[in-house]
Structure 1
Amino acid sequence: MNQRHMTLLTDLYELTMMQGYYEIKDANRTVVFDAFFRTNPSGNGFSICAGLQQVIEYVKDLVFTEEDIDYLRTLGIFQENFLEGLRNFRFTGDIHAIPEGTVVFPREPLVKVIAPIMQAQLMEAAILNFVNHQSLIATKTARIVHAAKGDGIMEFGLRRAQGADAGVYGARAAMIGGCIGTSNVLTGQMFDVPVKGTHAHSWIMSFPDELTAFRAYAKLYPSACILLVDTYDTLGSGVPNAIRVFQEMRSRGIPLTFYGIRLDSGDLAYLSKKARKMLDEAGFPDAVISASNDLDEHLIASLKNQGAAITSWGVGTNLITSKDNPSFNGVYKLAAIYDEKSGTFIPKIKLSENTEKITHPGNKAVKRIYDKANGKIIADLICFADETYREDEPLLLFDPVETWKKTLLQPGTFTIRDLMVPVFRKGKCVYDSPKVMDIRAYCQHEQETLWDESRRLVNPHEVHVDLSRKLWDCRQELLSEYNRTDGAK
C-alpha cells in the first residue's frame, strides 16, 4: 500500500490538457494553482486540514515509468513526441501548504502549487484525493471528540471503510482529529499510533459458557481486560460474570490496572447506569465502561446529556465514512500566471453564476489574526503573497461580501501568523512531516484557539475569512472587466 507508484492516479483530462500545453502552448509557463474547499462538512464551524504527508510522498515519486508510457500509448489519443517527453517528467516547482492538524476555514488555500503548467495540472486529482479524504475524516473526528467532552474516542471503522486505503488513511486522519487509538493494526504499524481493541461476541460464543470465556480472556490479558458483556444477557449474566472475574483477579493479587466492560447493543444510557451501579457496589468504581454500536457525535452528546455512565467510546461506521457528509468539497483552481516580461504574477479568476464558485485571484498567502489577550482566533485574512502587515499598526478588517461590516484592530491588541509553510522549493522537499501523534497534539492546541461558539455541533458561529483591500480591489476589477467584455459580445 505504501510502496505503490501513483503517477497515473489522475483523471484523463489532466493528461489530455498536458498534451495540449506541450503541443500548442508554453509547457514551461509558471502558474499558481490553489487547493481549497467551499463549505465545512457536517454543518461544522471549522475544518481540520490533513493529508499533506501523502501529497509529499506522491510528489517525490512523480515520474512516468516505461509501463505508464506504454499504457498511455494504448489509449490511442497521445502523440509519440508527447509520450517521449514524459520520460523526463519531474516536478521542479514550489509547493506551500497549511500544516496538517491546523484549523482551517472555507475558501482559503490549503495547498498552493507554483510550477510549470504541465506539472501543476497533472497533480490536481491526486492532491484533492489525499487532502479531501483525510480532511473530511479528521473534521468528523474532531466533532465526535468534542461531543465526548474529554472521554476517549477509539476508531473502530476498518470493516466499514470504502476499501483498504480509506480504512488505513481514514484511521490516520482520525488520530489527527483526536482519537486515542485505532483498531487498525496496519495504521498502527505505518504511522506509529496506538492500536486498541478487546474481543468479539464470537470469542464468548466459542466457549461453553460466558464465564469461561471471560476467565480465559482475563488470563491472557490481565492488564487490558475489557470484557464484552452483551452476548447473551447484559445485566443478567454479562456484568455479573465480569464482576466475578474481576473479584477472582483481585483475590489472586493481579493488579487491576486497566479493566472494565464494553456495551455494544441495547439502551446504552440505561444499561451503562445500571452497570455502573453494579460495578461500584461490587467494589470496582474505577472499572471502565466503554460503548460502541453505530455511534456518532449526536448520539454521544445525547447519551452524555442522559447521564450515561460511559467514559470510553468506540466509533466505527459513522466516523470512517463521515456518514452524514461523505465528501469534502475541495477544489483545485488556477489563480495566476507568471508574466516573464513584467516579472509578476497575472491574477486569474474563475467566474460562475453561483457566487460561491467565483475564485480569489492571484498568488496568495493566508494570515491568521489572534486576540493577543486570550489567543483566540479573530479572523483569517487572505492577501497577496507579497503583502506585509505589522502588529504595531492598526489593522482594518472588512467583510468581503457585506463590505460595510468592518472591524478596526488597535496596535498591540492582536498577533499575526502566516498559515502556509514551504513544502517544496524548486522540486526539492524542504518540509519534514511530524509524526501523527505530534500532529494530533498540535491539532488539539489548534482547536483551543477557537471560541466555544465556533465549536458548537449545531449552528456554530462562523469565523470570518476576510480579503485584504488589495486583493478585494483586484477581484472587483476582474469581475468588472469580465462583465464589460461579456457585454461587448
Structure 2
Amino acid sequence: MTQFDKRNLSMVMDFYEMTMSYGYFCKGGDDVRVAFDVFFRAVPDKGGFAVFAGLEHVIEFVENLSFSEEDIAYFRAQHLFSEEFLTFLRGFRFRGDIYAVPEGTIIYPDEPLMTIVAPSIDAQLIETAVLAQINHQSLIATKAARIVRAAEGRRVSDFGARRAHNMDAATYGARAAYIGGVDMTATVSAGQQFGIPISGTMAHSWVMFFEDEYTAFRNYAEIYPQAAVLLVDTYDVLHTGIPNAIRTAHEVLEPQGCRLAGVRIDSGDLAYLSKRVRVMLDEAGLTDCKIILSNSLDEFTISSLLLQGAYVDGFGVGERLITAKSDPVFGAVYKLVAVEKDGVFLPRVKMSENVEKLTNPGRKDLYRIYDEHGSAVADMIALYGEQVDLAHPFRYVDPGKPWKNRFFEGCSAVPLRRLYVKDGKRVEKLPRLDEIRAHVRRQLTAEIWQEEQRFENPHRHYLDMTPAYYELKMGLLDEVRGKHR
C-alpha cells in the first residue's frame, strides 16, 4: 500500500473503540442510545477564548462511515470478534444525531461544543475521528486568531506546510488558519480543495541558482512583472539585497510600466532591517513597495516587532502557526454524559481526584448571554429542553461561587447549538468557508470583550448554570458518592 492509495478513514480509531463496541454487541447494549459530550478544559497559551473548527469534516466522516471487506478481514485476523459481529460491521452506517455549535463559534472551556446522541456502538466508534478533527483544527484556528490580532490589520499568510506534522496537517491546518483570520496560504492543496487564496514569493534557491543576485531578480521580474516580490536576505539585505531590488525596479519593471510589489526579509534583526529598508525604498521613490517579514514568527514576536516600530505591511507565518508551537495541544475530550432507559436519558458523571476532570452530566442546552449592547457577558448551561426566559430578571448559579444570589437583568439568551445530523443524515446546511471566517471576525469585533482577547492575563469568560441544572449536577454527585464510598 502506498500513500496514494485510497484510505478508509473509518479505520481511524483507537482499538478500544472496537473492543468496547463488541462488548456492547455481546451484552445486548448495542441498540441502547447514549449521549457523549465534546468539550475542552483549558484554552491554549493561557488565552481567553478559542475558535471552534473542524465540524464540517466530522459530519463528512459520519456520513461516510463504513467498513470494507479488507477492513473486516483485518478485524477477523485479530481473533477477538465473532463472525456475527463482523457481519454487523459489513452493513454498518452511523445512525445517530449530532448537536454542535456552528463552526467558527468563539468557545470556552467546559461547555458542550458537541453532543452525539446515538446507539452505543455508533457513538463509541466515532470518538477518535471526532476528536482528531476538532482538536487539530480548533487548535490552529485559535492560534491563527491570536496571530491575526497581533498583526493589527496587516496581511498574514500561512507559510507552514513544510513544517506541518504531515501533508494532511498542512492542508487542514491551512483551512483552520483561514477560519482564524489568516488572509492566504502558500499550501496549494488547501487553495485547490477549500478555495483559500494562495500566495508565494521566490525561494532562496532561485537567487542561488543564478550567478549573481541581480540576475536572479531580473529574471524573476521579467517573468512576473505584475507581482514581483523579491527575497532580499540571501546574501546581505542592506548592502546587496535592497540595492539590487531597487535596480530591478528601475531597470526592469518601470520600463514596462510596472512597480516593484514588495520585498521579503526572512532572517536577521527584522525590526532593525525593516526600518532601514523602508528608508532605502522611499529614497528610491518606491514608497508603494511593501515589506514582508517572515522567519519563525508568532503572536509574541509580531507584537514585539510592532512595539519596536518595525515597518511591515505583511507577515509570512510558518511553523509556529501550523504546529501551534507554543502550546500544541487543544485537549478536547469525549465523555459519556447520559444513557437512555425506557425512553428517558439518565445522567452520568465522571468523578476524579482532579477537580478539573469532573464532568457536567446529562443532556443539556447551551446559551450565550448578551447584554443590551450586544456584548457576550457569559455562557450558560441549562437542562435539555428547559425554558430560559430572560424577559424578567433571571437567577443563575456561578458554579465557582454557588452561594451568591445572582441574576441576569436586561440581557438576552441565544441558544448556541444546532442539530446538524439526524438519524445519520445531514439536516443543517453548512456555511461556506468564507462565511465561517467572517463569523469569527464578527464575534471578535462586535461581541467578545476585548479584555478576553488579551495575550496576558485575559478576562475569564463565565460559564454559569441554571439553578435546575446545578441542582441536577449536585444531586447526582451526592448519589454517586453514596454508591462508591
* TM-score between both structures, scaled by the size of structure 1: 0.96
Equivalence map 1:329-368=2 (5 Å): 329-340=331-342, 343-368=343-368
Match of 1:385 in 2: 384
Q: 1:209 to 1:147 in 2, by over 3 A?
A: same
Q: CA RMSD in A?
A: 1.5
Q: 2:456 aligns with which of 452, 458, 462?
A: 458
Q: CA deviation at 1:221?
A: 1.4
1:442 to 439, 442, 449: 439
Indicate whether 1:216 and 2:216 are aligned: no
Does the Cα contact within 8 Å between 2:158 and 2:317 map onto a contact in 1?
yes
The amino acid of 1:483's aligned partner reads: R
Structure 1, unmatched stretches of 5+, are: none
Provide the residue aligned with 1:18 in structure 2.
Answer: 21
Residue 435 of structure 1 and its aligned partner are, at CA, apart by 2.2
2:5 and 2:443 mapped to 1: Cα distance? 29
Does the CA contact (< 8 Å) of 2:346 and 2:362 recur in 1? yes
Give distance in 1, aligned partners of 2:289 and 2:315: 14
Letter paired with 2:193 = M
Query: Quick one: distance in 2 between partners of 1:280 and 1:4?
Result: 54
CA deviation string 1:177-197 (max 9, x = no partner):
110001100010000110111
Opposite residue 370 of structure 2, the aligned amino acid is Y
2:468 aligned residue: 470
1:417 positional shift: 1.5
SS at match of 1:346: strand
Structure 2 distance, partners of 1:409, 1:119, is 39
Residues 90-169 of structure 1 mapped to structure 2, 5 A cutoff? 90-169=93-172
**1:212 positional shift:** 1.3
Q: TM-score, normalised by structure 2?
A: 0.97
Alignment counterpart, residue 423 of structure 1, candidates 414, 417, 420: 420
Select 2:273's aligned residue among 268, 271, 274.
Answer: 271
1:119-152, Cα deviation, whole Å (9 max, x unpaired): 0011111100000010001111111111111111
What one-letter code is carried by the residue in structure 1 that aligns with 2:456?
V
Deviates more, 1:395-404 or 1:468-477: 395-404
Q: Tell me the percent identity.
A: 47
Distance 1:109 1:294 in 2: 34
Quote how far apart the aligned CAs of 1:299 are: 0.5
Distance (whole Å) between structure 1 residues aligned to residue 222 and residue 189 of structure 2: 26
Distance 2:91 2:359 in 1: 33
* Secondary structure of residue in 2 paired with 1:7: helix
Structure 2 unaligned segments of length 5 or more: list them: none
- Distance in 2 between the 1:398 and 1:391 partners? 15
Task: Select between 309-318 and 277-286 the one with higher mean Cα deviation.
Answer: 277-286
Say how many residue pairs are matched: 481
- C-alpha contact (below 8 Å) 1:101/1:446 kept by paired residues: no
Distance 2:208 2:405 in 1: 66
Counterpart position of 1:261:
263
Return the alpha-carbon distance in structure 2 between the equivalents of residues 339 and 427 of structure 1.
21
The 3 A distance-change label for structure 1 pair 278 and 360 is same
Shift of 1:312: 0.4
Give 1:183-332 correspondences, 5 Å limit.
Answer: 183-249=186-252, 251-256=254-259, 259-332=261-334
In structure 2, the partner of 1:398 is: 397
- Cα distance between partner residues in 1 of 2:258 and 2:77: 66
Q: Aligned with 1:252: secondary structure?
A: helix
Taking the aligned partners of 1:244 and 1:383, their CA distance within structure 2 comes to 67
Deviation at 1:216? 1.2
Other structure's SS at 1:477 match? helix
SS at match of 1:109: coil
What's the CA shift for 1:393?
2.0
Q: Distance in 2 between matches of 1:192 and 1:250?
A: 30
Displacement of 1:406 in angstroms is 5.0
